Amino acid sequence: MVHDPHRTHGQPAGQARTPASKAGGERIAKALARAGVGSRRDVERLIAEGRIALNGQVLTSPAVKVEPGDILTLDGAVVGEAEPTRLFRYHKPVGLLTSHKDPQGRPTVFGALPEGLPRLISVGRLDINSEGLLLLTNDGELARALELPQAGVLRRYRARAHGRITQERLDKLKDGITVEGVRYGSIDAKLDKAKEGPQGANLWITVTLSEGKNREVRRVLEALGLKVNRLIRLAYGPFVLGTLALGEIEEVGPRVIREQLAEHIAPENMPKGDRPQFQKAATPTPSRRGKPPPEGTLIERGPRRLDEPRARPAGPRGGRPASKGERPAGPGRPAAPKRARPVGEGEGPKKKVFKAGWAKPKPKASHSPKKPGGPKRRG
């Protein structure tokens, strides 16, 4: 899949040249999945829509193999070589559709991502009203492997629901449940918190499952008489939401990928090194001469200049607090003059303080007249 505009191979192009039954080459669905176009199922759908071309010929069947030097295009854009596998954790907010494009024009997850990222696809989906951890990768084969129920990858959710339920009824979900003709496998549900209200109870339930069918958590809990009004995905396999901020994306390091996902990644796609390529943009510190930051913003200041006076906070240790009725100084308003203290108010004669190591002052001679009677005699 090397882009070579001067390619002069004498072989016929496209389906006429490379039937899937012959040996050699790689199936087009697998090749495009490794390049991050999508899973194999997604590639087959794109071919059926007439959006994939091989060496300029639009494909109508996925039964085609790709050889080195072939040019693959998607919607007219050349698909590059497969890169080492990369994985990202994304905290999806409510209101974003897990899709690249939406015919109705609704905002999407991939439209909200920052610049500087490769072409990514999602591992599973979160509906528009759900939030939490969403894994993104450039490896379609990895995405498909983590989505399959046979892989046994656990997904953990926390649901807030309205209604009444007991732990005994939730325990029955471990045997599976059928809802509207759809069979759902074993589900582990724990009742974390229940708060009674005038019209029912507000519940928090932790749900762990391994299938991840479309709207599975909502449909199963609604079959038990509960109304889910908030759904958060906390974990997908070994990866957790943690402290990732809402709408933030963070790349998983290559070493973690090798340790946790080696069985799901082809050797030629295994990443090397230890540090992720994508670095989150640091939040810029507002300038002192610029607009003041919003209230509550923490600004890190550098060391104080030598010619900069030290700020003294108001209070018992930083100076005299403003008295009642006194307006503090501000822009365009001079500070109120200090109230003059009458002489002698609150002050007495200063008393000398004896300090250790100093000589004691000698007592001053008294000039008062001596009492009559003369000195006392010893008896």
Q: Tell me which residues are annotated as active site.
A: 127
Q: What six digits make up the tokens of 368? A: 């008062």
Contact (Cβ atoms closer than 8 angstroms) between residue 115 and residue 12: no
Q: What is the dihedral of CA 16, 140, 42, 177, to 10 degrees?
A: 140
Contact (Cβ atoms closer than 8 angstroms) between residue 109 and residue 97: yes
DSSP 310-344: PP--SBTTTBPPPPTTPPPPBTTBPPPPPPPPPTT
Using DSSP, state whether 40 is helix, strand or coil. Answer: helix
Tokens 């009677």 label which residue? 373
Q: How far apart (Å, rounded) are the C-alpha atoms in residues 129 and 125?
A: 11
H-helix or E-strand spanning residue 260: helix 254-261
Q: What six digits make up the tokens of 239? A: 């990866």
CA 110 to chain centre: 15
Strand partners, 155: 209, 236
Contact (Cβ atoms closer than 8 angstroms) between residue 169 and residue 65: no
Using DSSP, state whether 87 is helix, strand or coil. Answer: strand
**Strands 188-197, 227-236: parallel, antiparallel or unpaired by DSSP?**
unpaired
Q: How far apart (Å, rounded) are the C-alpha atoms in residues 70 and 68?
A: 6
Q: How far apart (Å, rounded) are the C-alpha atoms in residues 361 and 31?
A: 100
Q: What six digits make up the tokens of 303? A: 């060391």
- Is the four-CA dihedral 314, 319, 321, 323 of positive or negative sign? negative
From residue 205, alpha-carbon distances to 188, 208, 338 in Å are 10, 10, 62
Q: What six digits make up the tokens of 333? A: 């308003």
Q: What six digits make up the tokens of 8? A: 């002069």
Phi, psi of 263 (to 5 degrees): -75, -15
